[in-house]
C-alpha cells in the first residue's frame, strides 16, 4: 500500500493504474502532507468519530482519516478510482466503506443511521469547484445529522460563505451557509499543493453546524426563495427584485409596507439586509 500525500507516490499510483484525470469531475489531488495534517486538525477528527468523505480521489486524505477516525465512509463518483482505493491505497484499512455513487443521489441519512446510530457525523471533502454549492446545500437541506463540514473549496467561495451584509461577496450562499452553520476559514492552500495544478488558489473552510438556526422563520423554503430573488439581479432595488420574481407573486405595495415597518428605505438592495431581516420579511410579506 502506497502512503500518499507526496507527488512521487501519487504519480506512481496513477501510472500503475493508467489513470487519466477527468475534467468533468474536477479532479485535483492534494500532494502536500503538511496541508493534509492541518485539515485533520481543522476538522477536529477524534478516535470515536464517524467521517463522511466526499470525493476521496485516490485516497490521499482518506488514509489520514482512517488513521484518526473510528469509521470512514468515502463516496466517489468516478468508477475508475474504485479499484485503486479498494485494491491499493485503502486495502489495509478495515474501518473504511467505499461507495461508488454521486453524492447528490446518496441517502446520507441512511448512512448515518447505519454507521453512526443516527448520531451527528463530520464531513470532510476536497470539493470540485463547479459543484461545491449544490453539495454543501444538499447536506444542509436534507437535514443529515451533522457536527461539522470541513471542506477545501475555491478561495473566493470560502470568502463568500463567511462575509456579512454590505460587502460585494455577500449573497445567497453567505446567508444559506450562515443560517445552518458557523463558517470559519481555517487556511489558504496555494495551487502548487495539487496535481494537476488548478488555475485558482483554494481555502479550507469549517462549517460548524448550528444546533438551532440563529433566526426563527415560519417557512424556511419561502425565506430562501426570497433571498435568491433578492440577489438574482444585484443592481436592482429589493422591491423591484421581489416584485418581478416569478413564482413569488408579491405585491409591490405590500413589500414597501413591510420594509417601512422595518425602518428600511424603498431604495434598499438585498445586499444590505441581514439574515434576521430576511426572516422577518419572509414572515410578513404576503402573496
Domains of the chain: 7-209 (3.40.50.150), 220-284 (1.10.8.100)
Q: What is the mean pLDDT of the chain?
A: 91
Burial state string for 92-126 with b = 16 or more CB within 10 A and e = fewer than 16: eeeebebeeeebeebebeebbeebbeeeebbbbbb
pTM of the entire predicted model: 0.90
pLDDT on residue 48: 96
Q: How does residue 208 score in pLDDT terms, banded at 50, 70 and 90?
A: very high
User: What is the reported pLDDT for 227?
Assistant: 95
pLDDT of res. 246: 85
Q: 129-187, pLDDT tens digit by residue? A: 778 889 999 999 888 999 999 999 999 999 999 999 989 899 999 999 999 999 999 99
Tens of pLDDT, residue by residue over 66-110, are 999 999 999 999 899 999 999 999 999 999 999 999 999 999 999
Query: What per-residue confidence (pLDDT) applies to 17?
Result: 74
Which residues, 6+ apart, have CB-to-CB distance to 172 below 8 Å? 224, 227, 228, 230, 231
pLDDT of the residue at 1? 59
Amino acid at each position: 500500500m502506497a502512503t500518499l500525500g507526496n507527488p512521487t507516490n501519487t504519480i506512481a499510483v496513477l501510472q500503475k493504474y493508467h489513470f487519466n484525470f477527468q475534467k468533468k469531475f474536477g479532479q485535483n489531488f492534494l500532494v502536500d502532507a503538511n496541508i493534509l495534517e492541518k485539515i485533520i486538525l481543522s476538522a477536529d477528527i477524534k478516535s470515536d468519530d464517524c467521517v463522511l468523505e466526499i470525493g476521496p480521489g485516490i485516497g490521499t486524505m482518506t488514509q489520514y482519516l482512517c488513521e484518526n477516525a473510528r469509521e470512514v465512509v468515502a463516496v466517489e463518483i468516478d468508477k475508475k478510482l474504485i479499484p485503486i482505493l479498494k485494491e491499493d491505497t485503502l486495502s489495509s484499512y478495515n474501518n473504511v466503506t467505499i461507495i461508488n455513487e454521486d453524492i447528490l443521489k446518496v441517502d446520507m441519512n441512511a448512512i448515518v443511521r447505519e454507521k453512526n446510530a443516527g448520531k451527528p457525523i463530520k464531513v470532510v471533502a476536497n470539493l470540485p469547484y463547479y459543484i461545491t454549492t449544490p453539495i454543501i446545500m444538499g447536506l444542509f437541506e436534507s437535514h443529515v445529522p451533522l457536527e461539522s463540514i470541513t471542506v477545501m473549496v475555491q478561495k473566493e467561495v470560502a470568502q463568500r460563505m463567511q462575509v456579512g451584509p454590505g460587502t460585494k461577496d455577500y449573497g445567497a450562499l453567505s446567508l444559506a451557509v450562515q443560517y445552518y452553520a458557523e463558517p470559519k476559514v481555517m487556511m489558504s492552500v496555494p495551487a502548487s499543493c495539487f496535481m494537476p495544478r488548478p488555475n485558482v488558489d483554494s481555502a479550507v473552510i469549517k462549517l460548524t453546524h448550528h444546533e438551532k438556526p440563529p433566526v426563527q422563520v415560519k417557512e424556511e423554503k419561502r425565506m430562501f426563495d426570497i433571498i435568491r430573488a433578492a440577489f438574482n439581479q444585484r443592481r436592482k432595488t429589493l422591491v423591484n427584485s421581489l416584485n418581478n420574481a416569478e413564482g413569488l407573486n408579491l405585491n409591490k405595495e405590500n413589500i414597501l409596507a413591510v420594509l417601512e415597518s422595518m425602518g428600511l428605505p424603498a431604495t434598499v438592495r438585498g445586499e444590505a439586509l441581514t439574515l434576521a431581516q430576511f426572516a422577518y420579511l419572509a414572515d410578513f410579506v404576503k402573496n
